[in-house]
Amino acid sequence: MTARQLYRVVWLMAGIVLACGWLLPPLMDFDAAQIGTISMGMFQRGDWLTILNRSYTGGYLYDYLDKPHLVYWSAMLGYKIFGFGHAGMRFFSILATLVAAWAVAKLAMRLYGAEAGRWASLIFLTSQAIMLANHDVRTDSLLTAFTALAVWQLVVWVETRRWLPFVAGFLFLALSVGSKGLIGPIVAGCALFFFLLGRRDWAGLFNARWPLGLLVFFVGLSPFLYAYYLQFDMHPEKLVNGGYGRSGVKFLLWSHSMDRFAGNRDLVASPEFSFFFHTILWAFLPWTIVLVTGVWERLRGLWTSRGETFFSQEQLSFAGVWLMFCVMSMAKFKLPHYLNILFPLLAVSAAGWLWRLQSAGRVGFLKGLWKAHGLLSGILLLAVGIIVVWSFPLTNIWIWLGLIGFGGLAYYIRRRHDLVAADRLVLYTASVALMVNLVLNAHFYPNLLAYQSGNRMPAVLKEQGVQPSDLKLYGRVVRSLDFYLQRSVPVVDSLEIRRLAEVGQSVKLFVSAGSRDSLLLQYPSARLLAEVSDMRVTRLTLRFMNPARRMERMPMGGLYVVGAAELPKK
Residues in the chain, how many?
570
Per-residue DSSP letters for 358-374?
HHTT-HHHHHHHHHHHH
Q: Is 484 within 8 Å of 455 (Cβ atoms)? A: yes
Closest to 191 in 3D by CA, of 328, 301, 358: 328
State whether residue 54 is helix, strand or coil: strand
Collect all residues with Cβ–Cβ distance below 8 Å to 473 and sequence separation of at least 6: 59, 481, 489, 490, 491, 492, 509, 510, 511, 512
Measure the CA–CA gap between 54 and 491, rounded to whole angstroms: 10
Beta strand residue intervals within 204-340, DSSP E: 239-240, 243-244
Collect all residues with Cβ–Cβ distance below 8 Å to 560 and sequence separation of at least 6: 474, 508, 509, 510, 511, 519, 523, 526, 527, 528, 529
Per-residue DSSP letters for 518-557?
HHHHH-TTPEEEEEEE---TTS--HHHHSTTTTTTT--EE
Measure the CA–CA gap between 325 and 334, rounded to whole angstroms: 12
Question: Which pLDDT belongs to residue 305?
Answer: 87
Per-residue DSSP letters for 269-290?
BS-STTHHHHHHHHHTTTSHHH
Question: Which pLDDT belongs to residue 30?
Answer: 83
pLDDT tens by residue, the chain, 570 residues = 888 999 999 999 999 999 999 999 999 988 999 999 999 999 999 999 999 999 988 899 999 999 999 999 999 999 999 999 999 999 999 999 999 999 999 999 999 999 999 999 999 999 999 999 999 999 999 999 999 999 999 999 999 999 999 999 999 999 999 999 999 999 999 999 999 999 999 999 999 999 999 999 999 999 999 999 999 999 999 999 888 999 999 999 998 888 888 877 777 777 889 999 999 999 999 999 999 999 999 999 988 888 888 888 899 999 999 999 999 999 988 889 999 999 999 999 999 999 999 999 899 999 999 999 999 999 999 999 999 999 999 999 999 999 999 999 999 999 999 999 999 999 999 999 999 999 999 999 999 999 999 999 999 999 999 999 999 999 899 999 999 999 999 999 999 999 999 888 899 999 999 999 999 999 999 999 999 999 999 888 999 999 999 999 899 999 999 988 888 876
H or E stretch including 558?
Answer: strand 556-562
Q: Do you find a cis peptide bond into 30, omega within 30 degrees of 0?
A: yes
Measure the CA–CA gap between 429 and 376, rounded to whole angstroms: 9
Q: Please state, as a whole number, how many other Cβ atoms lie within 10 Å of the Cβ of residue 332.
A: 16
Measure the CA–CA gap between 305 and 481, rounded to whole angstroms: 59
Q: What is the dihedral of CA 363, 366, 368, 370, to 10 degrees?
A: -130
Collect all residues with Cβ–Cβ distance below 8 Å to 109 and sequence separation of at least 6: 116, 117
Question: Which pLDDT belongs to residue 137?
Answer: 92
Question: Which pLDDT belongs to residue 258?
Answer: 85
Measure the CA–CA gap between 549 and 536, rounded to whole angstroms: 17
Return the exposure string of 459-488: e unless at least 16 CB atoms fall within 10 Å of the residue's CB, then b: ebbeeeebebeebbbbbbbbbbbbbbbebb
